[in-house]
Amino acid sequence: MSRLNSSLLVKRALKSHFGRSRWGLVLLLWFILLILAFSGCAKESVGLINWERLGGGLEKVEVNSLVFSQSEGSLYVGTNQRGIWCYDGTKWAKLGDELDDATVFFLIEGGRGIPLYAGAGERGVWRYKNGGWEDTSCPDDSYTLALNVGQSRLYSGSNREVWMLEGETWRSLGELPVMRIYRLYFWEPQDMLLAGTDDGLWAYAGQIWIRYGETLKGKKVKSLTGDGDSMYIYAGTEHDGIWYGHGQDWRRVTEKTFTSSALCLYYDQVRGILFAGTEYGVWVYDGNEWVDSSGRIKELDITAIAFDGEDMSLYVGAFQDHGVWRGDTSGLTEIFAEQAEKKH
């Protein structure tokens, strides 16, 4: 029902009951304002990106990790004790049942005949091969993974120690002087393995781990991503902004502090857009400022993020059984251009 029709119905009802008295007109105006306000609230804002939940049986799952395979056109989802699933654009299919009782903290594409690796906490590291999951016999728990594609090396992080799988053999790269490793990231342009921890960012220097940026010391670095072929890394922290830089040169993406925790990041190097999954939905950096693109998912903790470069779909996974969502980002470049033109 439109606002106009709602107002007319209320007006007719009040006239029949109150006639044309002064109090009748006061109540008439009050009811009209109430109807208009309710109509405005009932229309849900979709924000900068229009989000839709991917149903088909996975509406009520807690998502820890997402991977979009561009070569297969498929989305892989790691969940909390609901197994690992694949979405082909129309329907969901579960990948085996070996990890149904596990918390899958991290997924990563494998390459060279191994489409997927899974970091499953106390269950270690598993790989999906020939239609089933097999244990790689990692000596430690696994909460985050990284891959050196060129040298076929897989890295796994437990709470404090990093392990490397080369061929069929795991070996330790040593413990870090921290309490928690949040994220591993292999930075291909610099051929460097990085670790985001509860005490800043660290880099593996052959035999030892060294602090990578004094500016980030003491900060909880929870997410990492690169910006393609350039010299910069983005580091998302807990309530202390999103930073970019390399070596000892680090600065915030914007001077205005990004107050939400950046739990996951994705950089679209084609358009130069940075996406941040936070405890309050998804934010987008347009090159000048952070823009809230959450809309329907504003109240959700976004724990995982993946991107389809073909149709510009952004996939996000949420905490506390809120499932997987897809947002169309194809119009962002035009929207940002229009906003910039209006400001000038």
Q: What is the CATH number of the domain that holds 216?
A: 2.130.10.10
307 lies in the same domain as 238 = yes
| 3, pLDDT greater than 60 | no
Q: Which of 7-16, 78-87, 211-220, 251-260 has the lowest mean pLDDT?
A: 7-16
101 lies in the same domain as 26 = no
Question: Across residues 109-124, what is the average pLDDT?
Answer: 89
Q: How confident is the model at residue 161 (pLDDT cuts 50, 70, 90)?
A: very high
Question: Across residues 232-261, what is the average pLDDT?
Answer: 88
Torsion of CA 300, 302, 303, 309, to 10 degrees: 150
Q: What pLDDT score does 339 carry?
A: 64
164 lies in the same domain as 262 = yes
Token duo for residue 165: 């799988």
Q: What pLDDT score does 257 carry?
A: 61
239 CB-near residues (< 8 Å, 6+ apart): 259, 260, 261
Q: How confident is the model at residue 48 (pLDDT cuts 50, 70, 90)?
A: confident
Number of domains forming the structure of the chain = 2
225 lies in the same domain as 336 = yes
33 lies in the same domain as 57 = no
103 lies in the same domain as 25 = no
Q: How confident is the model at residue 331 (pLDDT cuts 50, 70, 90)?
A: confident
Task: Provide the percentage of residues in the chain whose pLDDT is more than 70.
Answer: 83
Q: Which of 33-37, 104-108, 200-204, 234-238 has the lowest mean pLDDT?
A: 33-37
313 lies in the same domain as 204 = yes
Most confident stretch, 40-49, 64-73, 286-295: 64-73
298 lies in the same domain as 315 = yes
Q: What pLDDT score does 19 carry?
A: 43
CA–CA distance, 25 with 29 (Å, rounded to integer): 6
The single residue listed with the structure tokens 């680090």 is 250
CA–CA distance, 180 with 177 (Å, rounded to integer): 9
125 lies in the same domain as 20 = no
Q: What is the domain range of residue 19?
A: 3-42
104 lies in the same domain as 163 = yes
Q: What pLDDT score does 45 carry?
A: 37
Q: How confident is the model at residue 294 (pLDDT cuts 50, 70, 90)?
A: confident
Q: What pLDDT score does 157 carry?
A: 98
CA–CA distance, 244 with 252 (Å, rounded to integer): 6
336 lies in the same domain as 229 = yes
| 17, pLDDT greater than 60 | no
Q: Compute how many other C-beta atoms are within 10 angstroms of the C-beta atom of residue 14.
A: 18
| 64, 304 Cβ separation under 8 angstroms | yes
166 lies in the same domain as 292 = yes
Q: How confident is the model at residue 289 (pLDDT cuts 50, 70, 90)?
A: confident
